[in-house]
Amino acid sequence: MSEKTPRGLGKGLAALLGEEAAKIDEFRKPVGYVNKEIAGSQPRREPTADVLRIPVDMVEANPFQPRMAFDQEALEELAASIRTLGLIQPITVRKVGENRYQIISGERRFKACRMAGMTMIPAYVREADDQGMLEMALVENIQRENLDPIETALCYQRLIDECRLTQDAMADRVGKKRSSVTNTIRLLKLPVKVQHDLKVGILSVGHAKVLLSVDDPKVQEELCDITIKDDLSVRALENLVRKYLRQAKPSVKKEQELPEEYSRMLSCLGRYFSNDISLRRSPGGKGSLTIRFDSDDEISRFLQAIENQEN
């Protein structure tokens, strides 16, 4: 991407986009798994590490699903996202009969896909009694050259979740540095919209790593849009993120240094009162002094000391 100088952030990142945001969404076509085998179309055993497109009518809920209630509004939002971007993370199922599959994980995604009107759903087929084969198949998948970054991250996550591998053990299996594995998995923390752009190749991994330095998902999406719209290089995006973080960082007031006589007064009062003594002073010399005491005895000792000095 060619480097361009980012404009000022102004009142918000979204203000930089205006009507251009709609043009960016034209690039965001739903992801698909069009070249994968459709489960049920052939009697042979399905590959456990590949993504298969399964008819939703062949999929049933897990009867042991601990989660009984799903937020309807959140489901509708997810369904709207799936209509626009597709299902980024496939569900995981197991085969329970001829042309029948049961959800292991992803029931919320499954419900949202049905709500979105999908007739086929991308899924991993898991054989619960064959963990070793699954591990080998996933490692083989990772070693392919044609996986996109999100597919690779999902394979790593499955090795952790389903094969119970640590990141160190996984790094040994796939021949990568542990830091590389960790950074790849972190891509799954990005908003779905950003993951989509990374998956379809309109955003690079370098840009995605820069976006991970921002905590707010909405800002991550807006920065992603700006990167695509202005064709920013990674370096230009880094500069824009640094500028945003400087503006977002709350200003810390430097504690005012008290004149020496105030410090002496606080030290003197501290001899008679066991609690904290608070003092506020403006640059012009005005202020307030608050003394907290535990008993009448503290007041008596303090009063006696003043009276003794007057005599």
Residues with a known catalytic role: 107
Quote the tokens at residue 26.
Answer: 């034209």
Which residue is associated with the tokens 């830091």? 179
Cβ contact 287:258 at 8 Å? no
Instruction: Give the three-class secondary structure for 76.
Output: helix
Cβ contact 104:126 at 8 Å? yes
What does DSSP say about strands 100-105 and 91-97: parallel, antiparallel, or unpaired? antiparallel
What does DSSP say about strands 100-105 and 59-60: parallel, antiparallel, or unpaired? parallel
Closest of 96, 7, 3 to residue 54, by C-alpha: 96
Residue 135 Cα distances to 94, 151, 156, 186, 290, angstroms: 16, 15, 10, 21, 67
Closest of 149, 147, 148 to residue 181, by C-alpha: 149
Quote the tokens at residue 162.
Answer: 């389903």
Distance CA 30, CA 70 (A): 24
Cβ contact 154:188 at 8 Å? yes
